[in-house]
Amino acid sequence: MPGLETLALSVVAGRGARSEDEERSGWSHLLEHMVFKGAGNRSARDIVEVIEAQGGQINAATGYERTSFQVRALKGGLDLGSAVLADLVQRPTMDAGDLAREVQVVGQEIAEAADTPDDHVFEMAQDAAFAGQPLGRPILGTDASIARADPARLSAWRAQLYAPDTLVISASGAVDEDELLALAERDFGAASGAGVQNPSPAAFEGGARKLAKPLEQANLVFLLPTVGVRDPAYFALRLFAEILGGGMASRLFQEAREKRGLAYAVDAYSETYADTGVLGIFAGCAAKDAAELARVAAGEVKGMAGGVSEPELARAKAQLKASMFMAREQPLSRAEQAAVQVLLFDRTLPPAELAEQIDAVSQADLEALGAQMLAQRRSAGSVLGPKAALKGAEAFQAALFG
C-alpha cells in the first residue's frame, strides 16, 4: 500500500548461554521465556495485545553469546516498542507460579529436541567439540538445571545477563534518529548494574558421539576447529564452507549426492563465536552408507585444502554477497546485523566494506585456512540412527588423519 512503512527495533544483550555455569545451564533461555509472562505494569496478555493492536509483532531469541528482543511495527510504533522492550529487559515480574509453568514448557522443548533427530545430532556434535564447556551444553539446558531456578536467583541472573554494559539498541526502517536516541535515553538511560564475567576461551576437544535409534535414516554431523568471527580469515571460512557444501553446485552435493547417491541431504556451514569457530558438515543418509559418506566428506575437505579453482571461488563470493545483502532487505535483519556488529567491532560495517573483504579472499587464503584446520588433527563427529550407521562417527576422523 502506498505510504505504508515499517520499522524494526532490537534490544540485544551481548551475553547468552555461554555465560552460564553448569548449574545455571539453560537459565538464559528460561529467562527469555519468563520476561514475557509479565513486565512493568503489563501482564503476559497485555504485552502481546498492546503490540499487536498497532499491527506489530514481538519476539526474542537466545544464543550462546547474545540474547535479542525484537519488535516489528508499522511507522509510528517505535515509542511503544521501546517502552515494552525496556520493561521486558529491566522490569520482568518473575512470578513463582509462572516460573513453575515455564519450567514445564521448556522441559517440553528439551524433550522435543531430543525426539527430533536432526536437532539432537547437532547437540551431540557440539558436546563432542566443546566437552565440559558452556559451548558444549545445549542452550535449552537440562530438566535438572532449569528446575534449580527460582524467582530470586533468576532475577539476579537477569541483572547480570542484561547488564547495560553490553546492551545495544538498534533500529531500522521508518525510524527517526533523534526519536530513537530520545527513547533510548528515556527507557534505558537509568539502567545500572554489573554484568557476568566474560566466558573463558573455548577449547575444541573433539571426539565421537553415537546414539542408536530405530530410524529409517541416519543423521551425521562432523565438525572441524577453525577461526572466530573477529579473525581476519573469517570470510575465507565462509567461502570455504560455501564451496564445500553451500548449494547444489558445491563439492559435497555434487560428489556425495549427485555422483554417488550416498545422501538425500548434505551441506556444509560455518558457526563462529567471538574467539573460535567450527566448520560443519551435516548429512542424512541410509545407515549402510554412513561410513562411506563420512570418508567422502573427509576427502572433499582434504581436496579443498589442496586448492580450489577460480570459478569455484568467484561463484562462492557471488553467493555469499547475495545471501548477506539480500537479508538486508528486511528492517529486522538490518537492525539485528547492526547490533551484532557493534557488539563485536564497536561499529557498524558498511556493506561496501564487507563486499571488499569478501572480494579480497584469494585461493591461497582458502588453502591456508584448510591447512590450519587439518593441522590440529582434531574433529568431532556425531551419528544418530540405526546401529549400522554408528561406525560413521569415527570414519571421518580416520579418513582425515589416519
Catalytic residues: 32
3-state secondary structure of 222: strand
Alpha-carbon dihedral of residues 173, 177, 180, 182, nearest 10 degrees?
-170
For 183, the grid coordinates are 527513547
336-364 burial: b if 16+ Cβ within 10 Å, else e = bbbbbbbbbeeeeeeeeebeeebeebeee
Q: How far apart are the first and last CA of the chain?
A: 62
Give the alpha-carbon dihedral of 107, 113, 115, 120, to 10 degrees: -140
Backbone angles phi, psi at 74, to 5 degrees: -80, 165
CA 199, distance to chain mean position in Å, is: 17
Q: Would you list the DSSP string of 120-163? A: HHHHHHHHHHTTTSGGGS-TT--HHHHHT--HHHHHHHHHHHT-
Give the C-alpha distances (Å, rounded to integers) separating 273 from 11, 28, 199, 270, 309.
20, 17, 12, 10, 28
Angstrom distances, CA of residue 196 to CA of 153, 165, 189, 311, 387: 14, 10, 20, 47, 43
DSSP assignment of 225-292: EE--TTSTTHHHHHHHHHHHHSSTTSHHIIIIIIIT---SEEEEEEEE-SS-EEEEEEEEE-GGGHHH
Instruction: Count other C-beta atoms under 10 Å from residue 207's C-beta.
Output: 17
Distances (CA, A) of 103 to 107, 149, 161: 6, 9, 19
